[in-house]
Structure 1
Amino acid sequence: MILAGHCMCGAVAWTCSGEVTRNLVCHCTDCQRATSAPFTAFLGLRSEHVNWSGEIVHYESSPGTFRGFCPSCGTRLYFRSDKWPHEVHVHAATLTEPAEYQPHAQVLMRSRAKWLDQLQSIPIHEGFQQNPADWPLPGGSG
């Protein structure tokens, strides 16, 4: 199987010719802060099967744990840790076809954002048909 992906601006790209070791949605607070999102979906890939092109900058978020990102657009590309020395955890949103991603499990549910349970019951809009400033605020009268 060949997988491929890239950052938002296209300055960094990756390909993988090996099998996926894990497909997870992680709800840990580190992933939430690192991605500014309530969870992160990622693919575990064998490091030796992933080829990168372009410049990648690393941030050591804790000892032995590194997060790679594109210095041009800031896209978070992957997470790697000494805990899993032969794997790189590539963010699924960087896949060329991210809509085809299928996670196998969710982890660290104790940190899951509670408001995710409400997503099915809140209004849905395909775009900004209404000015967000005009939307009623929770608990407010307007």
Structure 2
Amino acid sequence: MCGAVAWTCSGVVTRNLVCHCADCQRATSAPFTAFLGLRSEHVNWSGEIVHYESSPGTFRGFCPSCGTRLYFRSDRWPSEIHVHAATLTDPGEYQPDAQVFMPSRAKWLDRLPSVPAHDGFQQAPADLPVVEPLKT
């Protein structure tokens, strides 16, 4: 987001997925995460990265300046790093090959095609019912 961290890759993509697992939902505060699996040794980073160990052996990298989530890596896949597709130069060109952890998929995503779409905020904030916060 702030440009303090960048990455390049000299290898092939090993995974190209949209993940709906509950861990990704909590870690990104989003209904799903799109990522590219890359061989760790083929990825070069510039800038400072801070890591958070979200579960034993699983680390999530982020920019300490703006907090942008960059990737996750896990001891379960020691030779891979899973870079968030939103960090691509043109994330709109991202084309996933599959979706995983479908049982955790947010049910409201099914409604999106029928929800009105706008180019920006369409109106002043409305008074909506109070929603209980999620405990993380």
Q: Structure 1 segments of 4 or more deviating over 6 A?
A: none
The counterpart of 1:121, out of the listed 114, 121, 131, is 114
The counterpart of 1:85, out of the listed 74, 78, 85, is 78
Instruction: Tell me how far apart the structure 2 counterparts of residues 77 and 127 of structure 1 sit (CA, whole Å).
Output: 26
What RMSD, in angstroms, separates the aligned Cα atoms of the two structures? Answer: 1.1
- CA deviation map 1:58-97 (0-9, x unaligned): 0000000000000001000000000000000000000001
After TM superposition, the structure 1 = structure 2 runs for residues 1-142 of structure 1, keeping only pairs within 5 Å, are 8-133=1-126, 137=128
Letter paired with 1:117: D
- CA deviation map 1:27-68 (0-9, x unaligned): 000000000000000000000000000000000000000000
For the residue of structure 2 that corresponds to 1:71, the secondary structure is coil
Q: TM-score, normalised by structure 2?
A: 0.92
Report deviation, 1:125: 1.1
Aligned length: 129
For the residue of structure 1 that corresponds to 2:51, the secondary structure is strand
Q: TM-score, normalised by structure 1?
A: 0.88
Letter paired with 2:123: Q
Q: Name whichever of 124-133 and 80-89 sits farther off.
A: 124-133
For the residue of structure 1 that corresponds to 2:126, the secondary structure is helix
For the residue of structure 2 that corresponds to 1:124, the secondary structure is coil
- CA deviation map 1:110-139 (0-9, x unaligned): 0000000000111111111311327xx58x
